[in-house]
Amino acid sequence: MITIEVKNLVKNYGKIEAVKGISFNVNEGEIFGLIGPNGAGKTTVLRIISTLLKINSGSIKIMDYDIEKDADKIRKIISYLPEDAGAYKNLTGRSYLQFIANFFDPKKNQQMVEKGIEIADLDERIDDRVDTYSKGMMRRLLVGRALMINPKLAILDEPTSGLDVINAQEIRKLVKNTAQAGTTILLSSHNMLEVEYLCERIALISEGKIVEGGKPKDLMNKYNANNIEEVFTKVVKQ
Amino acid sequence: MSGLGNIIKKEFKELFTPATFVPIILVALIFGTMGNSIQGIQEQAKEKPIIGLINEDDDTLATITSSILYNNSKVIFNSTSIDDKQIAIDELKQKDGVALIVIPKNFTKQMRNESPGEIEIYWIMKGAGVMDTISSGVLQYLINYINTNLSKELIQDNSSVNSSFVLNPTKNIETTYFKDREFKGLTPDIIVSMLSSQSMLIPIVIMMIIIMAGGIVITSMALEKENKTLETLLTLPVKRTSIVTGKIIAAAGIGLILAIIYMIGMSFYFQGLQFSEGGISLAEYGLVLDSQDFLFIGISLFVTLIAGLSLCMLLGTFAKNYKSAQTLTFPVTMLALIPMFLTIFADFDTLPLALKGIVFAIPFSHPMMASRALIFENYMFVISGIIYVSIFASIMIIIVVWVFKTDRLLTGSTKKRKINLRQPLLLNLIRRR
C-alpha cells in the first residue's frame, strides 16, 4: 500500500522555484530518503508533506488523504521532526512530552509519554527544564516526541543532526525499529552513510528536481560506485 | 576598501532597516502633532473670551466693570434685565460662549458700604479636558483684573477704606452648566479637576495593561519562531483557530489579573476621592460611578483587551525573533498612548470631527472614555464603543487565523496560485480555499 503519493509537485517562494515538478511514492512501512545538497528543496518537500506549506501545483496524497483538502486529518496520522526544532524552554522534558501527548487520544496519552521518555532515554534529567539540556539531549527528547505517538508516517528532517557518533547510532537504530513496527518513514539527510544504512529506497534531489531514484545498492551498481556519495557526485555531474 | 570603511559599510547595511527608522519617524510625527496642538492652545489663550453681560447697575463701579469686560472680551449678548438670563445662556451655548456675567442692581452700593459686590458668573462648559478650560481661565484672569481696577477706584474715592475689603472687593457667585447639568457653586476648573481625578487613572491603567498583555502575545509568537517550536505546533492535530484563541485568552487572562490588581487599588483611591476633593463631595453632584457603570467599564475593557491582543497577534506573526518583537510592540504602545493623552487633555465631544473619527477608530480609546461618558449617563456612546470594538476584534481574529493558514507565518509570504482562465471563477476560488 502506498503511504505517500507525490505527483508533479511545484513550490515557489515568490519568483524562486524551490521545487520543480517532482513525483515519488513511499510504501507503507518503508524508510524513504531524500538526499541532496543544501538548498536542493528537501526541507521544502518535507514541510509541504507535513502540511506546513501550501503547494503551487501538483498533488500529494497521504494514506489517500489529499494534502490540500484533508490537512486536519493528515495531522492526526503524521509526526514531523524539523531539522533545527526546539522545545518550550520553561517546561521539563516530561511536561513537554505530556503537552504534546494531550493533543492525541486521551486514553493513550500516558502510554505515549512513557514511550517518549523511554525513547529520549534521559534518565532523571527528563524532569529538568529543557533549557538546561545539551544539544544531544534536546534532539533525543524531540525524537522521543516525534515517535511516541506511533504515527502512520514520521517525517524526519536530518534526524541525527548535531548528534555525536554514539547518539546518532542510537537514533538510527530507533528509526529502523520504528519502521519495522509499521511506521512509514520519510527522511532527509546530508549524511550519505546514514542514508545507505537506513533507507530502503532513496531519491536524489538537485535544484528542486529528482535526478535519480531507487534502492541504494541498485544505484551503486548502476553507477559503478562504492557508496551513495559517489553515486550522487556522478549523477549531479552528468 | 580599508578595514574601517568595510566595517562601516557593513554596519550601515545592517542598521539601515525599516525596523530602526519607522519607530523614530512615528515619534517625530507625534511630537510634530503635539507641537501643533500646543501652538493651537497658545492661540486659543490669546483670543478674547466670548461672553454675555447683564448689567442691572448703572453706577460707577458697575460701569468700570462692564467697560473692562467690553474692552477685553467679545460680548455677544448684552442686557440690563436679569429676566433675560435664560435667553442669554441659550445664545451663549449656541455661539461657543464661555460665560454669562451678571452685575446685580446693588453692586456699586454694596461696595461703597465696604461689603463685597457680588458678580454672578454662569459658566458654559463644553468639555472636561484640561484644554477645554483655557477660555474660562482667560475670563478668570479678567475677573482678577476687574478686582484690581475696582480696588484702585475705591482707594482713590476713600483712602481710609477697610484694607482687607479693598484687596478683594468682589465676590463671585458661580454656577457651571455642563452636559445638560447645572453645578451650583462650582467652576469649570474644579469640575475638570474632579473628573480628572476619576478618569485620569483609568486611561493610564488601560494603557499599561494593553502594553503589557500585548507584549506577552507578540513575544510569545516571536519565541515560538526563535525557539523553533512553531513548526512542530503547526503539524499537531489542533485547529489554527484554537492556537490563536488559546494564545489570546491566556494573555487576556493575565491582562485581566493585572487589571483586577489595579482596579482594587483604584477602588480605594476612588473611595478616598469621594470625600477629599477640596471638601466637595463628588456624590453630591452625581459625579461618581455606580456598580452598573463599573460593569460597563469591565465589558469595554475586556473586548478592548481581546481586540488589542488580536492586533498584537497579527503583529506577532511578523516577528522573527525576540528582538524584532520588541520593535513590534511600538505601534501598539503608540495606539494606547494617543487616546490616553487625548482623554486626559481633551474631551471627545469638543474634538474636531477628523480627530473624533481617529479616536473612535482606535479600540483602546473606548474603555478610556467610558468612565467620563458613564458619569454623564451617555450609555449609547459606551455601548456603541463596545459593539465597534467587538467587531474590530472579530475581524482581527479572522485575519490572524487566515495568516496562520497561509505560508506567511513560516516564510513571510503567501502562496499565489495561478488562476486557470479555462475554469469558472467559482472553481478557482474553491481551489484557492
Tell whether pTM > 0.90: no
Which of B156, B186, B216 marks a domain boundary?
B186
The count of C-alpha atoms lying within 13 angstroms of the C-alpha of B142, restricted to the half-sphere facing its C-beta, is: 29
Q: Are residues B17 and B67 in the same domain?
A: no
**What per-residue confidence (pLDDT) applies to B111?**
87
Q: Is B163 exposed, middle or buried (0-12, 13-18, 19+ CB in 10 A)?
A: exposed
Q: Are residues A163 and A229 in the same domain?
A: yes
Q: Is the pLDDT of residue B421 over 50?
A: no
- Torsion on CA atoms B404, A55, A36, A182, rounded to nearest 10: 80
Q: Are residues A155 and A140 in the same domain?
A: no
Query: Each residue of A148-185: b (16+ CB within 10 Å) or e?
Result: bbbbbbbbbbbbbbebeeebbebbbebbeebbeeebbb
CB nearest to B227's CB, from A47, A54, A86: A86
Q: Is the pLDDT of residue B409 over 90?
A: no
Which of B161, B186, B211 marks a domain boundary?
B186
Amino acid at B46: K
Number of domains in chain B: 3
What's the pLDDT tens digit per position in B207-229? 778 888 888 888 888 888 888 89
Q: Domain range for residue B372?
A: 196-411
**What per-residue confidence (pLDDT) applies to A65?**
95
What's the pLDDT tens digit per position in B95-110? 888 889 999 988 888 8
**What per-residue confidence (pLDDT) applies to B385?**
95
Q: Are residues B228 and B128 in the same domain?
A: no
Which of A121, A148, A175 marks a domain boundary?
A148
Neighbours of B99 (CB within 10 A): 30
Three-state DSSP state, B151: helix
Report the gap between the CA of A53 and the closest CA in chain B (Å).
5
Going by pLDDT thresholds of 50, 70 and 90, the confidence category of residue B320 is confident
CA distances from B158 to A47, B111, B115, B117, B161 (A): 99, 12, 14, 17, 6
Q: Are residues A156 and A144 in the same domain?
A: no
Residues 6+ apart with CB under 8 A from B210: B255, B304, B305, B308, B332, B336, B364
Q: Are residues A166 and A128 in the same domain?
A: no
Q: Are residues B230 and B372 in the same domain?
A: yes
Higher pLDDT, A127 or B333: A127
Q: Domain range for residue A97?
A: 81-148
What's the pLDDT tens digit per position in B179-216? 888 888 888 888 887 777 666 677 777 777 888 888 88
Interface of A with B (CB under 8 A): 12-14, 47, 50-57, 68, 72, 75-76, 78-80, 82, 84-89, 100, 103-104, 145
Q: Are residues A163 and A209 in the same domain?
A: yes
Residue of B nearest to A51 (CA): B235
Percentage of chain B lying above the pLDDT 90 cut: 15
Going by pLDDT thresholds of 50, 70 and 90, the confidence category of residue B270 is low
**What per-residue confidence (pLDDT) applies to B424?**
47
What's the pLDDT tens digit per position in A202-238? 999 988 999 999 999 999 999 998 888 889 888 877 7
- Cβ B231–A57 below 8 Å, yes or no? no
We report the CATH number of the domain holding residue A182 as 3.40.50.300
Per DSSP, which regions of B194-264 are E strands? none
Q: Is the pLDDT of residue B425 over 60?
A: no
Question: Which regions in chain A score pLDDT beneath 50?
Answer: none
The pLDDT of B258-271, averaged and rounded, is 70
Higher pLDDT, A111 or B47: A111
- Cβ A85–B415 below 8 Å, yes or no? no
Which of A148, A176, A195 marks a domain boundary?
A148
Q: Are residues A121 and A65 in the same domain?
A: no
We report the CATH number of the domain holding residue B103 as 3.40.1710.10
What's the pLDDT tens digit per position in B134-178? 777 788 888 889 989 999 888 888 778 788 888 888 888 989 988
Number of domains in chain A: 2
ipTM above 0.85, yes or no: yes
CB nearest to B232's CB, from A13, A72, A82: A82
Q: Are residues B30 and B64 in the same domain?
A: no
Pick the closest to residue B200 from B342, B93, B388 (CA basis).
B342
| Mean of per-residue pLDDT scores for chain B | 81
Three-state DSSP state, A206: strand
Residues in a beta bridge with B119: B172
Percentage of chain B lying above the pLDDT 70 cut: 85
Q: Is the pLDDT of residue B428 over 50?
A: no
Q: Are residues A144 and A159 in the same domain?
A: no
